[in-house]
Amino acid sequence: MKKRTVYAWGVAILSFVVLMIVTPAIPQSEAYHDFADQREFLGIPNTLNVVSNFPFLVIGLIGLVLCYYGDYFKFSLQGELWGWTCFYIGVAAVAIGSSYYHLKPNDARLVWDRLPMTIAFTSIIAIFIIERIDERKGTISIIPLLLAGIVSILYWRFFDDLRPYAMVQFLPCIAIPVMAILLPPMYTHSTYWLWAAGFYLLAKVEEAADKVIYDWTHHIVSGHTLKHLCAAMVPVFLTLMLAKRTVEPERQSLLKTWKISWTKFRKTDGTVESNGTVESYTCTYSTVPVVESQ
């Protein structure tokens, strides 16, 4: 293992230890289980919060099938197949775990809601490392990252402290868009990562505004139900990306691509050059002989 890799892991571990020392524990609030929409239809408790998980099962199974059916996604690296397999397993399991939790919300069942999500989160980080940094390191990191997610759940359950889980859940929300913008991709259609991140951010806002949205919609739908539907759009966008993308012949980051596009726009839209000077145009006119009619 190279020295810089050891340093990176050392800094990451040290930062985590310092964070755990200087921040107070975050216990799980019992109010978390008090969702706005608790209506029952067809004998299903909390019906909409339960059935709104169904899209996760559909897209998770579709993704798993396409990973192995006729090389549909055309993975260039073996590690990618393993990473995306873990991701789609996590997505499909979210439907089962979250539905089980919402039938009777409590701490014991919440474990099975959060565990599949950590599998999906940590798999995504491994996929980014495989594709944009180093295949071998990314492939090796799949198991440690999955274990880190599982340990964060167990730590919360046994010590009633959400800090490790919060890091596992929210760090990818920051790291993935940043890496998607700054690191050169192996494939085209990288903007789909940003669409996925945007929908996940929207889902978290809807989750926080659960009761507010329920009141705004006159008790038609709650924020938590909409959160499930928006969060399910994340694997939808990533599946579309996998289906459409091709190998990028000239790898360059989205940031660089945007800079080039902006420079071209400045040159064609106005008369201002990238260096701030004004373009001058020279026009030449030619005389056209007139032929008189007879």
* CA 215 – CA 207 distance, rounded (Å): 14
Per residue of the chain (294 residues), give pLDDT as tens: 456 666 666 776 777 788 788 889 999 999 999 999 999 999 999 999 999 999 999 999 999 999 998 889 989 898 999 999 999 999 999 999 999 999 999 999 999 999 999 999 999 999 999 998 888 989 999 999 999 999 999 999 999 999 999 888 888 888 888 888 888 889 999 899 999 999 999 999 999 999 999 999 999 999 999 999 999 999 999 999 999 999 988 888 888 888 877 887 777 766 444 444 444 444 454 444 544 444
Q: What integer pLDDT is reported at residue 3 of this predicted model? A: 64
* CA 68 – CA 75 distance, rounded (Å): 10
Q: What integer pLDDT is reported at residue 172 of this predicted model? A: 81
Which CATH number is associated with domain 36-256? 1.20.1070
- Please state, as a whole number, how many other Cβ atoms lie within 10 Å of the Cβ of residue 9: 12
Q: What integer pLDDT is reported at residue 193 of this predicted model? A: 93
